[in-house]
Amino acid sequence: MELKYLQQITATLNLSLKQVNSIVALQEEGATIPFIARYRKEATGNLDEVQIGAVIEQVKYFSELTKRKETILKTIEEAGKLTPELRKRIEDCIDATVLEDIYLPYKPKRKTKATIAIEKGLEPLAKMIFDQQSFNPEEEASKFINENVKDTTEALQGARDIMAEWMAENEQARNTIRKLFQEEAKLSSRALLSKKEE
């Protein structure tokens, strides 16, 4: 396992690198959590089963993250969109959610309303509206009417679909919304009228 992951585990669980390395080595040799806790106290610094289990869970998480990175890098490279900067961001990433946010714009998609609108040639209209250029949207949309786009309503809807996908795939926007939900979201529940007596 890469050193950056081991260091992350030590920081998250407030353990020493030696303790984490010992647990990883013992597990790779086939030792179980109860065995490590009872008979390898000197190697782990007297960690209990819960602490050892937490280390093993983290090791599993980062192993799966490494595999996912390999798949993502291969997919983006095959699409011809892998830049050195993007490769570095993916390789340096230590959070699965962040990794998926980075990958989202490059992920092969099924056909969406936005991809259909792009195929109809409405991306330049979406870009003009998105950039908030000063123009009459209806008038500009009329320039995109052709055999594939029947009227300005369809052109503007296609532009909206494209912009919606851009925003949904924007890493910064996703992080902002996620943070907002974590800080301010409220859950509420109530009994259904039909279940009130139960």
User: pLDDT tens-digit profile of 63-112?
Assistant: 999 999 999 999 999 999 999 999 999 999 999 999 999 999 898 878 88
Work out the burial of residue 168: count CB atoms within 10 Å of its CB; fewer than 13 is exposed, 13-18 middle, 19 or more buried. Answer: middle
Domain that residue 169 falls in: 113-184
Q: Tokens for 95?
A: 């959070």
Confidence of residue 194 (pLDDT cuts 50, 70, 90): confident
Could you tell me the CA-to-CA distances from 62 to 14, 88, 137 in Å, in that order? 17, 17, 48
Q: Work out the mean pLDDT of the chain and round it to a whole number.
A: 92
pTM score above 0.85: no
Q: Is residue 156 part of a domain?
A: yes
Query: Which of 52, 77, 106 finishes a domain?
Result: 106
pLDDT in tens, 147-180: 999 999 999 999 999 999 999 888 888 889 889 9
How long is the chain?
Answer: 198
The single-letter code of the amino acid at 194 is S
pLDDT at 32: 94
Percent residues over pLDDT 90 in the chain: 76
Do 144 and 125 belong to one domain?
Answer: yes
**Placement of tokens 């806790």 in the chain:** 37
Q: Could you give the angle at which helices 84-92 and 96-103 cross, rounded to 10 degrees?
A: 160
pLDDT at 108: 84
Do 132 and 180 belong to one domain?
Answer: yes
pLDDT in tens, 123-154: 999 999 999 878 888 999 999 999 999 999 99
Q: How far apart are CA 47 and CA 127, in angstroms?
A: 57
Do 133 and 64 belong to one domain?
Answer: no
Do 61 and 136 belong to one domain?
Answer: no
Sequence-separated (6 or more) residues with CB below 8 Å from residue 72: 90, 99, 102, 103, 106
Count of domains for the chain: 2
Confidence of residue 189 (pLDDT cuts 50, 70, 90): confident
